[in-house]
Structure 1
């Protein structure tokens, strides 16, 4: 089984343009993420998929693997184009703005497919428990609910599940945007048009559910640092310097 990692990376970002080329320590954010993924030792190959010549050159000049793509609505669509002609079985999507992702949650995702002998699972992803009311109600945090086997039932920016009885103990989980795909499922995803629920929520993995594919959710306690705004970059710098 050949397992690769692909880091989708676009230069423009609505809240923090050019964030992947900001300096973190002595390297750019995207170079830091790329090198950290390589250093996990989990992957046969690691690629950056981008529509930016600036990012392509940044990775290439460091001896890394970069693939130029067209412009895409979602990271999964970008990765699908990048891997179409790459021989592999499993593709792990690592976010370019998550420079401190650890080995353990990535290893957990890969194990899902190694143990799925009947190939029932199309996609695996991560979830983390939410405990603060503000975090639960924040629409920027995508929530997920699962069945008893851990398969995703639905993702939403709204609060799910809705607790009708206030004394009822309810667990809430945030979807962590790290995915592992079977290559064939990823290519199928990219060929399918968006449907109403994905359009409404702006959550790409809903497309899998709408077309009847299985998503296994793995609980993790990993709390990453997603760099969405300049303040996140400062927090990442503090962590790198050992101040947090």
Structure 2
């Protein structure tokens, strides 16, 4: 199964402008940009044929080329990473079997998250789109609840059917957490997607739906149009996973880099 990883990155984020070029200090004291750390996470995945940074911004392109990444320029019309991935796919000479969308704000994504995702897609030809989910530990759930109490939009949670298909994704904490001492099972949605080319082509033909617009979550367009999303549970193996959504997350991610000895 031929697979590629696309890392969509845009400069003009409404919540955090210039986010891909924000520098994060590793355990060795070396500063690297968010986009470089996300690219390094992608390059660590086994069995992937190519990794590309997708952007419409010359500053991000130049930074990515400087640390050795392959770059595909996409239009400024792309409203989200999935639309940007569809544009990137159209530029490839040979069509891969699977395209992985690794968000450019998720440098703590372990390689095995993506490897498990690809294995799940390879095992079932009916799966057109899949995404990893991680059972929240107490620290992550506390971060979720704290962000919402302080009116910060943090990570995303997933509500999942018994058959492993997604019911819904939200920036709110789902289900409701009444107490952190005895919380319900909450699934943290990991910002990675695997699509077959057919799914990407379909996505580009649909307009933005009301739920996608309200939540700011691109994957909801699939659910709004009746396409199932397979949720693939992954194991943290002691690694803390968190995306960079807000300036406060820089400190959180740097603490994990130091704790895990990640350079």
Above 0.5 in TM-score?
yes
Query: Whole-Å Cα distance in 2 between the matches of residues 110 and 225 of structure 1?
Result: 21
* Counterpart contact for 1:142–1:156, Cα < 8 Å: yes
Q: Does 1:62 align with 2:62?
A: no
* Counterpart contact for 2:155–2:242, Cα < 8 Å: no
The number of equivalent residue pairs is: 239
Question: 1:242: Cα distance to partner?
Answer: 4.3
Question: 1:52: Cα distance to partner?
Answer: 0.7
DSSP 3-state at the match of 2:198: helix
DSSP 3-state at the match of 1:5: strand
* Counterpart contact for 1:136–1:172, Cα < 8 Å: no
Counterpart among 97, 108, 121 of residue 113 in structure 1: 121
Aligned residue number for residue 31 of structure 1: 36
Instruction: Please report the RMSD computed on the Cα atoms of aligned residues, expressed in angstroms.
Output: 2.7
Query: Whole-Å Cα distance in 2 between the matches of residues 224 and 8 of structure 1?
Result: 19
Change (3 A) 1:5 1:200: same
* Counterpart contact for 1:84–1:187, Cα < 8 Å: no
Q: Does 1:129 align with 2:155?
A: no
Aligned residue number for residue 217 of structure 2: 203
Mark the runs of 5 or more structure 2 residues left unpaired by the alignment: 25-29
* Counterpart contact for 2:144–2:173, Cα < 8 Å: no
Query: Whole-Å Cα distance in 1 between the matches of residues 117 and 98 of structure 2?
Result: 10
DSSP 3-state at the match of 1:80: helix
TM-score (norm 1): 0.85
TM-score (norm 2): 0.80
Q: Does 1:43 align with 2:51?
A: no
Counterpart among 229, 237, 240 of residue 254 in structure 2: 237
DSSP 3-state at the match of 1:84: helix
Question: 1:11: Cα distance to partner?
Answer: 1.4
Query: Whole-Å Cα distance in 1 between the matches of residues 259 and 211 of structure 2?
Result: 42
Post-superposition CA distance 1:173-207 (Å, at most 9, x none): 23221111112201211221122222233221111
Q: Does 1:188 align with 2:206?
A: no
Change (3 A) 1:38 1:18: same
Query: Whole-Å Cα distance in 2 between the matches of residues 141 and 33 of structure 1?
Result: 17
Aligned residue number for residue 216 of structure 1: 230
